[in-house]
Amino acid sequence: MRVGIIGAGAAGLAAARHVSSYGFDLDVFEMGAQLGGTWVYTDDVGKDRYGYPVYSAMYKGLRTNLPKEVMGYPDFPIPEQKKSYLTQAEILDFLNLYAENFGLKKYIKCNTMVMDVRPVDNQWKITCVDKPTGQIFVNLYDSVMICNGHYNDPITPSIPGQELFAGTIEHSHNYRDPERFRGQKVLVVGAGPSGLDLTLHISSVADYVVLSHRVAEPIKTQYPANVEIRPDIKRILDFDKVEFIDGTCCGFNAILFCTGYRYSFPFLHDSCEISIDDNHIQPLYKHMIHIDKPTMCFIGIPFNVCTFQMFDLQARYYCKYLNGLMSLPSAEEMRVHTQEDMENRQAKGYTKRQMHMMGPDQQSYYNELAHDANTAPIPPVLVKLRDLSVKRLYDDLVNFREDQYKILDEQNFVKVSN
Ligand code: FAD
């Protein structure tokens, strides 16, 4: 069994760890200069020194939005220390520690970008470019695990009248630090975790910041006095003036879209038969396995999850299948199961864009995977702590990272200080 893994972020590392533990042959292709994916910070935006796209959306000063008690891997927790919310550099160190501990570095080919993946005679042909030399090479694998992340293809809405705006318009993917907004009037669009966090970062140097959003719930966080919350944008009126749907207007020098990302697999040839419709990827069994070509799998697709924990569980599940320790249902049965899952989601009011969202469904998703693969589940305490942390983020973004937690057992945690 020879396995090709695309990406050496937290998901690709979990995949490599479990694939190697079964003694399979593997290569991990990583387009960046080092492992770590999202957690690698670079000043570069747009293109890198070799002319290839810059992957990471990481920005200076980022601290995690989940406590370290949740962010470790199941049997490889983040080492004990006196805070729960770590910095970008600390998570990157942790991923390096993980890779060293499980001897993964020897499998990772950095600066190697996968350009094309296609099925050939029951195998997968993976074509890569070595970025520094431009040399192309091709390898065949029995299985391919796609771990390329989903924060690299930004969604940037177009606003009526946008062509009139004279200031800068960009997506948070290109945001690195607040300095260039010093003294400016900035409009941040979108109230996901990035929009909320960047509003706070930018408010430390900007003249004022308006956070515009369309979420039904009011934002409870008390921002500094130079931040204002407004509803959705209606249109741009002239070189600086933006009108909101409540009829109010305001002038800006810059607009920063924090409006999310598309799933994107530009290297998958059409013959892989993967389609994406409004961020719904098909045909995937349990949000990970290609129903018609089960030697292809995707690690890390679901969102609103306990990230590294889930990557590890998905990798354990898939490796049991690869090793013949677990069989999958027939393609028809997988299709029916997937259809039912989608219908349940629709019945709950999820949109197509939310077909891979877990949130309140995550514990049952984890339990199902663990049960089917006869492997350890993710303890409920982690899901509870994740949910509390997300609530705290929305309620009190400015202070929630002062909280510290301690896990007591499978079900319980305590807050040790704030
Ligand atoms: P990534 O970390 O994105 O790694 C994917 C890897 O694939 C990258 O290294 C990339 O270079 C490589 N790759 C992509 N395409 C190719 C190709 N064609 N060829 C070769 N290599 C390729 N999650 C949390 O749990 N807590 C947080 O606090 C948190 N904060 C975040 C903040 C920001 C700004 C962002 C963008 C995300 C955050 N996340 C957070 C989510 C984060 O993405 C996950 O925690 C996790 O790092 C995702 O891991 P991954 O391996 O799936 O993807």
Q: Tell me how far CA of residue 294 lies from CA of 262, 273, 332, in angstroms.
A: 23, 12, 13
* CB distance 91 to ligand 1 below 6 Å: no
Report residue 242: phi and psi, to 5°: -115, 135
Cα gap 418→46, rounded to integer Å: 39
C-alpha distances in Å from residue 137, one per residue of 25, 29, 268: 18, 12, 16
Query: Is domain 2-153+261-382 annotated with CATH 1.10.10.410?
Result: no
Instruction: Count other C-beta atoms under 10 Å from residue 363's C-beta.
Output: 18
The residue type of 413 is F
The pLDDT of residue 417 is 86
SS3 percent helix, strand, coil of the chain, rounded to 5, is: 30, 25, 45
pLDDT score recorded for residue 215:
81
**What is the pLDDT averaged over residues 221-228?**
94
pLDDT at 418 over 80: no
Does residue 330 or residue 80 have the better pLDDT? Answer: 330
| Mean pLDDT value across residues 130-156 | 97
Q: What pLDDT does residue 349 have?
A: 95
293-306 pLDDT, tens digit per residue, is 999 999 999 999 99
DSSP 255: E
- Cβ–Cβ < 8 Å for 381, 412: yes
Of ligand 1's listed atoms, the one at least distance from the Cα of 306 is 25
The residue type of 339 is Q
Residue 98 in contact with ligand 1 by CB distance below 6 A:
no
The pLDDT tens digits of the residues spanning 278-294 come to: 999 999 999 999 999 99
Yes or no: say if 4 and 296 are a contact pair by the CB < 8 Å rule.
no
What is the residue with the minimal CA distance to atom 42 of ligand 1?
A: 38
On whether ipTM exceeds 0.90, the answer is yes
Mutate to test the pocket of ligand 1, among 38, 199, 400 (most ligand atoms within 8 A of CB): 38
pLDDT at 200 over 80: yes
pLDDT band at 217 (very low <50, low <70, confident <90, very high): confident
Cα–Cα distances (Å) from 298 to 9, 146, 233, in that order, read 13, 5, 36
Report CA(324)–ligand 1 centroid distance (Å): 29
| Protein residue closest via CA to atom 39 of ligand 1 | 38
Of residues 333, 360, 331, 329, the one with CA closest to residue 345: 360
Average pLDDT over residues 115-124: 97
Which atom number of ligand 1 is nearest to the Cα of residue 36?
9
Is it the case that residue 218 has pLDDT exceeding 90? no
CATH architecture of 156-257: 3-Layer(bba) Sandwich (3.50)
Q: Whose CA is nearest to atom 38 of ligand 1?
A: 38
pLDDT in tens, 59-82: 999 999 999 999 999 999 999 988
Considering the chain, what is the average pLDDT of its residues?
A: 96
Q: Which atom of ligand 1 is nearest to the CA of 151?
A: 36
| Centre of ligand 1 from the C-alpha of residue 301, in Å | 11
* pLDDT at residue 256 tops 90: yes
The residues that bridge with 210 in the sheet, in sequence order, are: 187, 228
Phi, psi of 122 (to 5 degrees): 65, 15
Residue nearest to atom 8 of ligand 1 (CA): 37
For range 84-94, the mean pLDDT? 98
Cα-to-centroid distance, 152 and ligand 1 (Å): 8
CB of residue 3 inside a 6 A radius of ligand 1: no
> How long is the chain?
418
- Domain ranges within the chain, ordered by starting residue: 2-153+261-382, 156-257
How many C-beta neighbours within 10 Å does residue 2 have? 16
Given a cut of 80, is residue 201 above it in pLDDT?
A: yes
> Is any atom of ligand 1 closer than 6 Å to the C-beta of 32?
yes
pLDDT in tens, 353-373: 999 999 999 999 999 999 999
Q: What is the pLDDT of residue 19?
A: 98
pLDDT for residue 219: 87
pLDDT at 216: 78
User: What is the 166 CA–ligand 1 centroid distance (Å)?
Assistant: 33
Mean pLDDT over residues 39-48, rounded?
96
CA–CA distances in Å: residue 19 to residues 5, 6, 98: 9, 13, 15
Percent of the chain with pLDDT over 70: 100
* 344 alpha-carbon distance from chain centroid: 24
Would you say the CB of residue 64 lies under 6 angstroms from ligand 1? yes
